[in-house]
Amino acid sequence: MTNNESTKEDMHVWTSKYADKAGYMLNPDDESLHLVLEGLARNRNKHGKNYCPCRIVTGDDQEDKKIICPCIYHKDEISNDGSCHCDLFFKKKD
């Protein structure tokens, strides 16, 4: 691994912080969570941005901006379905 490579641990750090700040929680299922974090790290290393691992990167910067995690869709998805499309962020259970 080169020094500049992002790892899934890096992704875990910022997604945890974001979840705390936004009042969400991360997927409680470790295996699913790690798959998404790995996908984010892969996109970060390949494309230079945290593109959503479960959406298509088109190559059009304007379009792809919408799917930089946390994407423009996640708030609606979480409020409607309880989690975002990738099952990364979840509505907190009280």
Residue 2 C-beta: closest distance to ligand SF4, Å: 25
Per-position DSSP letters for 10-66, written without gaps between them: HHHHHHHHHHHHHTEEE-S-HHHHHHHHHHHHHHHHHHSS-B-TTS---S-HHHHHT
37 binds ligand SF4 (CB under 6 A): no
Six-digit token string for 92: 């907190």
CB 77 within 8 A of CB 55: no
Provide the minimum distance between the beta carbon of 94 and ligand SF4 in the complex, in angstroms, as a whole number. 21
Q: Is 88 in the site for ligand SF4 (CB under 6 A)?
A: yes
- Say whether residue 33 binds ligand SF4 (CB under 6 A): no
Where along the sequence are the contacts to ligand SF4 (CB under 6 A)? 36, 52, 54, 67, 69-71, 73-74, 84-86, 88-89
